[in-house]
Amino acid sequence: MYKIITLYKEIPDMSSFEDFYYHEFLPKLLKINGVIKVGVTHLFPSGISAERDHQKEKNYSMLAEIYFESPEAFESAIHSHEGIELVGKMLEVAGEYITAYVGKESVYSGVRV
């Protein structure tokens, strides 16, 4: 499964950002053809880090994963009018706080049947 993974650093006015994300950005995103689902994870420091400076762990506060039907659906979605508009709006609102990657997910399970 193909997806966009976006890491969000701590945003000064997180309440306003979440209002934008959940009430404006997300509903429009879910209407784009090829988008299967969106997962949002709020992040908290674990204390498990190779970094000696554990303060760096606090840099990220949210992770979002946007799942697509296929590589073709991903390409079509990000180049659509709606996709371009949403990326532009997100960069305008929180561009300095995000890092994004494209990934191909593999899932493994230890559950035996």
Give per-residue pLDDT as tens, 34-91.
Answer: 999 999 999 988 877 776 665 555 589 999 999 998 999 999 999 999 999 999 999 9
Topology at the third CATH level for domain 8-45+57-104: Alpha-Beta Plaits (3.30.70)
* SS3 state at 108: coil
Return the closest-CA partner of residue 60 out of 76, 79, 41, 87.
41
Query: What tokens were used for 28?
Result: 């429009």
pTM for the complete prediction? 0.85
Q: What is the DSSP string of 8-30?
A: EEPPTTHHHHHHHIIIIIHHHHT
pLDDT in tens, 19-30: 999 999 999 999
Compute the radius of gyration of the chain from its Cα atoms.
16
